[in-house]
């Protein structure tokens, strides 16, 4: 039988404390020993986003413990209150009624106990059956070991959850030679799920040598945790598994379900953030609740071609179940592509991607993601094009909107696949996008959007499709080419890409791009693939930014739909 948080709270005596902010967060090796930083906040802010989540200043990274509680969405996040590069991290806290406009609150979790005195790292929230929340998070103890801690709200009747207190029993899970856990590779607990036996389960990311693991722990009272003999799942050669996430999805519905839900027509998703790759990968499979084992449909044999949430700048993601709208929401960190010097100059670093609804595609082979519809209330000044042919080599400007801050939806119809360029052998799609960038003309493509483009086209971020023939069938390459995104060569100008599981002979190629000053977040194939690019043009800023539709292929393509909107500024922090 489930233990309610009322019973759990009855056995705790809470301790509040205050301490200096200390450095945390494992994924930023360059600043692991940094204690404090100084940054300037320039008044010239052409790259500060208008509707993507970010603090008013300074460094941000992982989303932590998202949940909906008493009508409010809560987002905690790793934050440096003292500077624009990583260090001095606390759990900052913001709330929202709509996942679009956010109000900042005081910091929620910060070093104050021996079990977290050297840092409060990432973690997750769990909602108990009685509706009350708890947070499990990684602390760095006085010996610099990674351990797992528990915090509860001081006042569960407060919808803002302004104050959090830690139990004196912390840490609840700790590495030891007896359990074979490396004290520097044991972090980021998941949302817990409740089994039919009345025990909660939680996963903690881990590695041993190069084998990544999702360690499984069980508890009856949420205080005394016991490590299972075997991990839920592990894979050799994958390195450290950061920020794991494990949740059910329905095989016959776009609706989301609670993390503890299990039954017929349910598959499970295991997502891991690979520290070695700096990308989020996921597996779809079956959860054996009796054996506490996850059996994926296919494992991590070839990471270069495996499923990812996002094929661009996106990491340390976290989902939660939105009980109000019966959907699962995905949040993720989009870090900068700019230099540390530029980050210090602008006074901030890092944003979060637009919250996305996430569900299992009807094929069962992959997940689908789409921006939450609440973001559409920021749309203004709509424009719409009639169906038109985009001739070979043609470039058309999209006018009537604010190109630096826009939402664009466009669909293309292509024909003549027998003339498409032949791809003789399978290769990494990101490498292929780099070799076959927007400036390289083909037969069917490249065609798509030139976002954040300067009038002379010296700067632009090209998001496009290119069609190949592979094993006698059309193969769609979906790319985001940053190679010409900025004249500032100190930026990361990487080109991103993936193959898109769409049959162009039966459906059009759709593209939606959310353009927001220094980010181009693009959804291909109605959300089958997503690429987030962080770009910093020097010419195409503010009112100088332009937007174009282009076709640099030898064959004509048809624009079957183009709708675009200027995006109003959200109220964020």
Residue entry with tokens 């100059």? 345
141 catalytic? Reply is yes
DSSP annotation of 373: G
Look at residues 66, 572, 26, 39 and name the one whose alpha carbon lies nearest to residue 341.
Answer: 39
Residues ≥6 apart with Cβ < 8 Å to 228 = 215, 216, 217, 218, 292
Question: Taking CA 351 as the corner, what is the angle to CA 353 and CA 345, rounded to the nearest 5 degrees?
Answer: 155
CA–CA gap between residue 335 and residue 359 (Å, rounded): 25
Q: Half-sphere exposure of 261 toward its Cβ, with a 13 Å CA cutoff?
A: 20
CA–CA gap between residue 56 and residue 348 (Å, rounded): 8
Which of the residues 116, 141, 245, 342 is marked catalytic?
A: 141
CA–CA gap between residue 93 and residue 290 (Å, rounded): 37
DSSP annotation of 2: P
Ranges of beta strands (E only) in 223-314 are 225-227, 233-235, 241-250, 266-274, 279-288, 293-296
> Rounded to 5 degrees, what are φ and ψ at 26?
-80, -20
CA–CA gap between residue 358 and residue 255 (Å, rounded): 9
Contact 438, 446 (CB under 8 A): yes
Q: Half-sphere exposure of 387 toward its Cβ, with a 13 Å CA cutoff?
A: 6
CA–CA gap between residue 269 and residue 245 (Å, rounded): 8
Q: Which letter, b or e, does each residue of 94-110 get, where b requires 16 or more Cβ atoms within 10 Å of its Cβ?
A: bbbeebbbbeebebbbb
Write the secondary structure of 56-105 as one string of H (helix), E (strand) and C (coil).
CCEEEEEEEEEEEECCEEEEEEEEECCCCCCCCCEEEEEEECCCCCEEEE
Task: Please say whether the dihedral angle defined by the alpha carbons of residues 319, 325, 327 and 329, taken in this order, is positive or negative.
Answer: negative
Look at residues 229, 308, 227, 236 and name the one whose alpha carbon lies nearest to residue 272.
Answer: 308
Q: Regarding beta strands 293-296 and 348-349, do their DSSP bridges make them parallel or antiparallel, or are they unpaired?
A: unpaired
Q: What is the dihedral of CA 452, 458, 463, 466, to 10 degrees?
A: 160
DSSP per residue, 105-171 = EEEEE-S-STTTTT-EEEEEEEE-TTS-EEEEEEEE-TTS-EEEEEEEES-TT-TT---EEE-TT--
62 catalytic? Reply is yes
The residues that are catalytic are 62, 141
């Amino acid at each position: 039988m489930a233990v309610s948080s009322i019973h759990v709270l009855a056995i705790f005596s809470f301790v509040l404390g205050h301490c200096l902010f200390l450095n945390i967060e494992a994924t930023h090796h360059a600043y692991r020993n940094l204690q404090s930083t100084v940054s300037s906040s320039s008044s010239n802010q052409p790259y500060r986003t208008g509707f993507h989540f970010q603090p008013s200043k300074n460094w941000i990274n992982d989303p932590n413990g998202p949940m909906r509680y008493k009508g409010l969405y809560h987002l905690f996040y790793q934050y440096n209150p003292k500077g624009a590069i990583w260090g001095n991290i606390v759990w900052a806290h913001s709330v929202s009624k709509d996942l679009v406009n956010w109000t900042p609150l005081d910091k929620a979790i910060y070093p104050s106990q021996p079990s977290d005195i050297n840092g409060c790292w990432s973690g997750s929230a769990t909602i108990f059956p009685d509706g009350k929340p708890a947070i499990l998070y990684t602390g760095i103890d006085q010996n610099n070991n990674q351990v797992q801690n528990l915090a509860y709200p001081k006042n569960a009747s407060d919808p803002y959850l302004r104050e959090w207190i830690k139990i004196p029993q912390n840490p609840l899970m700790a590495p030891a030679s007896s359990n074979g856990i490396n004290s520097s590779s044991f972090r980021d607990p998941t949302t817990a799920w409740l089994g039919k036996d009345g025990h909660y389960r939680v996963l903690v990311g881990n590695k041993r040598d190069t084998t990544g693991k999702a360690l499984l722990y069980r508890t009856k009272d949420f205080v005394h945790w016991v490590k299972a003999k075997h991990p839920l799942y592990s894979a050799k050669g994958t390195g450290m598994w950061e920020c794991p996430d494990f949740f059910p999805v329905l095989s016959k519905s776009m609706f989301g379900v609670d993390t503890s839900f299990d039954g017929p027509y349910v598959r499970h998703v295991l997502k891991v953030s690979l520290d070695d790759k700096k990308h989020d990968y996921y597996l779809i499979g079956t959860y054996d609740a009796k054996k506490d084992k996850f059996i994926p449909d296919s494992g991590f044999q070839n990471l270069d071609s495996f499923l990812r949430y996002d094929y661009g700048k996106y990491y340390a993601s976290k989902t939660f179940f939105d009980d109000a709208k019966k959907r699962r929401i995905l949040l993720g960190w989009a870090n900068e592509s700019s230099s540390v010097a530029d980050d210090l100059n602008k006074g901030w670093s890092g944003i979060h991607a637009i919250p996305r609804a996430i569900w299992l595609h009807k094929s069962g082979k992959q997940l689908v993601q789409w921006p939450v519809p609440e973001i559409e209330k920021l749309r203004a000044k709509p424009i719409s094009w009639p169906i038109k042919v985009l001739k070979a080599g043609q470039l058309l400007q999209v006018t009537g909107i604010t190109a630096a801050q826009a939402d664009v939806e466009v669909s293309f119809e292509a024909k003549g696949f027998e003339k498409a360029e032949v791809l003789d052998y399978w290769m990494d799609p990101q490498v292929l996008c780099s070799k076959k960038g927007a400036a390289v003309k083909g037969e069917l493509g490249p065609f798509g959007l030139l976002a954040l483009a300067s009038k002379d086209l010296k700067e632009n971020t090209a998001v496009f499709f290119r069609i190949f023939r592979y094993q006698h069938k059309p193969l769609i390459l979906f790319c985001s080419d940053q190679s010409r995104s900025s004249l500032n060569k100190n930026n990361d100008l990487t080109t991103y890409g993936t193959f898109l599981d769409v049959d162009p002979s039966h459906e059009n190629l759709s593209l939606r791009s959310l353009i927001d000053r220094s980010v181009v977040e693009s959804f291909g194939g109605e959300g089958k693939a997503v690429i987030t690019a962080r770009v910093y043009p020097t010419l195409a800023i503010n009112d100088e930014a332009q937007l174009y539709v282009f076709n640099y292929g030898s064959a004509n393509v048809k624009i079957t739909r183009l709708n675009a909107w200027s995006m109003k500024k959200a109220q964020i922090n």
